[in-house]
Chains A and B, each alone.
Chain A
Amino acid sequence: MTVEPGGRVRLATGVGTQGQGHFTAFAQIVAEVLGVDVADVHVITGDTREFHWGTGTFASRGAVVAGSACQAAALRVREKILELASHELEASKADLVLAGGSVHVRGDPGAGITLGALAVKANPLRGAVRPGTEPGLEATAYFGPDRGSTASGVHAMLVEVDPETAQVEIRRYVVVHDCGRVINPMIVDGQIHGGVAHGIGNAFYEQLVYDEDGQLLNASFMDYLLPTATDVPRVETAHRETPSPLNPMGAKGVGEAGAIPTGALFAQAVEDALGRTGLEICEIPLSPSRLFELIEEAR
C-alpha cells in the first residue's frame, strides 16, 4: 500500500477477484484506518508486477485473509503518517487525528496537512529519510491465520412439488447467516443471493452428462442448464454479527454460506413435500425425470 503524492491511496493485493466486490470491500477497510474517502483508495488485483505473491479467491479467504492483510498494511502506513505528521505539525502522535484525507491536531481541524502533502515530504529526494525511518508512506503486510474462520447460518426453503409431473417450484427461500463483521451489507447479500442461485443450480439443474464413449452431451448453455432469473426465488436474508476471534477484523467468509446448504436442503424439502411416500433422497443434482424415477422406485 502506498499513499501517492496526489493523496490517492494505492493498494495492490495478490488475491484474485471474479466479482466478489473486493475493490469496494478492501477500499472500505483501508479508508476506515486512514480516514480517507473510499473513492480515493485504488485497489489492484491480479497484477504480478504490482504484487507477486498471491493465489485465487476460494475457501472464504477474501475478507478474512486478504482483508486482514489490507488492514495490517493500512495500520503500518497510518503509523508512518502519524510519525511524519507529528514532526511536521510539532505535536504528539496521540494528539493527531486522521480525517478527510488530512492529519490535524485534535481541536484544530483548520491547520492540518493532507496525506498527499505528507507523501511528498516522505519522498527521499527531499531529505525526509532520517536515521531510523523509511522513505514513502508505504507498507507491505501479510496475514496468515492459524485456522479458518467458519461462517454459520441457517437456510429454510418452501417448495411445491407436483407429485404427478415431479416438477418442483421453490416458493420461498430464507437465509439467516453469520459471517462475523459485515464489511458491506450489499456485497454480503449479493454473495448470499449468488450462492443460493448456484446451490439451486447444483440441486436441480446443472449436470455434465457424458455418453459411454466419454463424449460430453451438453456442452452448450442450451443443454447445460443454469438457473436463470425465473428459476431463482427472491432470497430473503438476515444478518447476525458474531465477530470471529481469529482475525483482527472479526470477519468470517461469506462466499460459501449461500451455496453449501442448498443442495441438501432442496433434497430434504422435496422429500418432505412428498410426505408419506417413504422416499429418501440421497443425491443431487435432481431433475424432474430423476425425481420421477425415485418416486417410482419408492412405490
Chain B
Amino acid sequence: MKPAPFDYFAPGTVDEALALLAEHGHEAKPLAGGQSLIPAMNFRLARPQVLVDLNQVAALSYIRANGSGLAIGAMTRQRAVERSDLVARAAPLLAEAMPSIAHPQIRNRGTVGGSLAHADPSAELPAVALALETRFRAKSVTGERWIPAGEFFKGMLETALEPGELLVEIAIPPLPARSGTAFLEMARRHGDYALVGVAAVVTLDASGRCQAARVALLSVGDGPVLASEAATVLAGQAPAAELARAAGERAASRDVDPPSDIHASAAYRRRLVAVLTRRALERAFERAEKGSGERGAVPSDRKPSS
C-alpha cells in the first residue's frame, strides 16, 4: 500500500526542525530512519499530515565519551553504534544488544533516537536504556529538558515527549566498578521481534555480594518492564546459580503480566522470562566477577560485526 498524503520538510539544522515541529504541533511526526514509521504509514496505521525528515540534520549523529559514560546523538545509525569501539568499552550491554535488532540492512538505516522515541515494547533499545539508567535530552523551541529512562516510556508506543519536542541525545552513565551486564533474547527467526528479551546489569560490593541489580524485560508489556521484584531478591546476596534462578522465577511471577499473541502464549512468555532472566543474570554476575575495569566487563562472546 501507499501512505496517505502528507507534507514533507527536510530541515538541515536542529533549530529548523524544532521550528517546524512547533508550527505543526501534533500533526507533525519526525522521520528518523523510517524503519517503523514508513511501514506503519504504508499500512495506513499511521497518518501524519506532516513529516519532518531529520536525515539532513548531520549535527544529531555522533557517539561521544561523556566523562566515563556515553553521549549518543539521536540520529546515530544503529549500525554505527554496533561497530563503535567506544560503545563496546563504555556500554558493553548496548553493544551486545545491537545485533539482535532486526537485520544489518535495517540497522544501517534505523537510528538510536528513532527506536527509543517509537517505544515499541518489543524493541531492544528501550529495555537497554532502562537497564542502563539512560537520560533522554528533549528539545523544543522553548528550551530543553532531561528525562530519566524511568519516566520516558509511558506505554504502548508512547513516551514523555510532548508535541513539538524532539529527542536529540541520550546520555548513558558509566557503571560502577565490579559491574557486569548481559543481553539475551529469543525470537522465532533471527531478526524477528523478540518473544522475550532481557537486559541485565549487576554491581557487586567489595565482599562480592550483589549491591545493585537492574533487569529490564522486553516484549512482555506495554513498554520495557523493569523487574524490580527480581532486584529485591538479588539485593545483598552472594551470586549463585540458585539466586539467579530465584530472581528469574520472581520476575516471571511478580514483575510481568505478559500478553498472548499468535507467536507465544502468556504462559510461555512467563517461562521465557524466568529462563532468560536467570541466564542473563548468571552471565552478568560472571562478568562482574571477572571484570576489573570500572566500566564493567566487555562481553567475551560478542559476535564480530558481519
Chain A residues packing against B (C-beta within 8 Å): 164-167, 205, 209, 217-218, 223, 225, 227-228, 230-231, 287-289, 292-293, 296
B268 within 8 A of A: yes
Contact B189 A228 (CB under 8 A): yes
Contact A225 B189 (CB under 8 A): yes
Contact B262 A223 (CB under 8 A): yes
Partner of B191, one of A167, A230, A287: A230
Q: Which residue of A lies closest to B191 (CB)?
A: A230
Contact A289 B189 (CB under 8 A): no
Q: Which residue of A lies closest to B190 (CB)?
A: A230
Q: Which residue of B lies closest to A228 (CB)?
A: B189
Q: For B188, list chain A residues within 8 Å (CB).
A: 205, 225, 287-288
Partner of B189, one of A205, A217, A292: A205
Contact A231 B190 (CB under 8 A): yes
> Given A218-B262, A289-B263, A292-B268, does the pair A164, B192 have CB atoms closer than 8 Å?
no
Q: A218-B262, A225-B192, A293-B268 known; 10 other A-B pairs, CB under 8 Å?
A: A164-B271, A165-B275, A165-B276, A166-B268, A205-B189, A225-B189, A228-B191, A287-B188, A288-B188, A289-B264
B195 within 8 A of A: yes
What's the minimum C-beta distance from A136 to chain B, rounded to whole angstroms? Answer: 52
Q: For A223, list chain B residues within 8 Å (CB).
A: 262-263
Contact B189 A227 (CB under 8 A): yes
Q: For A228, list chain B residues within 8 Å (CB).
A: 189-191
Within 8 A of A (CB), among B157-216: 186, 188-192, 195
Q: Which residue of A lies closest to B278 (CB)?
A: A164
Within 8 A of A (CB), among B110-159: none
The CA-CA distance from A165 to B265 in the complex, in Å, is 13
Contact A288 B190 (CB under 8 A): no
Q: Which residue of B lies closest to A164 (CB)?
A: B275
Q: For B267, list chain A residues within 8 Å (CB).
A: 292-293, 296
> Given A217-B262, A218-B262, A288-B195, does the pair A165, B189 have CB atoms closer than 8 Å?
no
Contact A167 B262 (CB under 8 A): no
Task: Give the top 6 A-B pairs by smallest Cβ distance, nearest first.
Answer: A230-B190, A289-B268, A289-B264, A209-B262, A164-B275, A292-B268
How many B residues touch the partner, as a band?
10 to 19
The CA-CA distance from A80 to B191 in the complex, in Å, is 59
Q: Which residue of B lies closest to A231 (CB)?
A: B189
The CA-CA distance from A231 to B265 in the complex, in Å, is 22
B226 within 8 A of A: no
The CA-CA distance from A228 to B271 in the complex, in Å, is 26
> Given A165-B272, A292-B268, A293-B268, does the pair A287, B263 have CB atoms closer than 8 Å?
yes
Q: Which residue of B lies closest to A218 (CB)?
A: B262
The CA-CA distance from A223 to B189 in the complex, in Å, is 11
The CA-CA distance from A227 to B190 in the complex, in Å, is 10
What's the minimum C-beta distance from B24 to chain A, rounded to whole angstroms? Answer: 30
The CA-CA distance from A296 to B192 in the complex, in Å, is 25
Q: Which residue of A lies closest to B39 (CB)?
A: A222
The CA-CA distance from A217 to B260 in the complex, in Å, is 13
Q: For A165, list chain B residues within 8 Å (CB).
A: 186, 271-272, 275-276
Contact B268 A288 (CB under 8 A): yes
Q: For B195, list chain A residues within 8 Å (CB).
A: 288-289
Interface flags for B250-270 (1: CB within 8 Å of A; 0: not) read 000000000000111101100
The CA-CA distance from A227 to B189 in the complex, in Å, is 8
Question: What are 17 A-B pairs with beta-carbon distances under 8 A?
Answer: A164-B275, A165-B275, A223-B263, A225-B188, A225-B189, A225-B192, A228-B190, A228-B191, A230-B191, A231-B190, A287-B263, A288-B186, A288-B268, A292-B265, A292-B271, A293-B265, A293-B268
The CA-CA distance from A230 to B190 in the complex, in Å, is 7
Contact A167 B186 (CB under 8 A): yes
The CA-CA distance from A230 to B189 in the complex, in Å, is 8
Q: For B264, list chain A residues within 8 Å (CB).
A: 287-289
The CA-CA distance from A205 to B188 in the complex, in Å, is 8
The CA-CA distance from A118 to B189 in the complex, in Å, is 59
The CA-CA distance from A230 to B191 in the complex, in Å, is 9
Q: For B192, list chain A residues within 8 Å (CB).
A: 225
Q: Which of B192, B195, B262, B275 neighbours the largest number of chain A CB atoms within 10 Å of its CB?
A: B262
Q: For A231, list chain B residues within 8 Å (CB).
A: 189-190
The CA-CA distance from A205 to B267 in the complex, in Å, is 20
Q: For A225, list chain B residues within 8 Å (CB).
A: 188-189, 192
Q: Which residue of B lies closest to A226 (CB)?
A: B189
The CA-CA distance from A218 to B189 in the complex, in Å, is 16
The CA-CA distance from A223 to B193 in the complex, in Å, is 10
The CA-CA distance from A292 to B195 in the complex, in Å, is 13
The CA-CA distance from A230 to B103 in the complex, in Å, is 11
Q: For A164, list chain B residues within 8 Å (CB).
A: 271, 275
The CA-CA distance from A111 to B68 in the complex, in Å, is 88
Q: Which residue of A lies closest to B269 (CB)?
A: A289
Q: Which residue of B lies closest to A224 (CB)?
A: B262
The CA-CA distance from A68 to B188 in the complex, in Å, is 43
Q: Which residue of A lies closest to B264 (CB)?
A: A289
Q: Which of B191, B264, B271 neighbours the largest number of chain A CB atoms within 10 Å of its CB?
A: B271
Q: Which residue of A lies closest to B189 (CB)?
A: A231
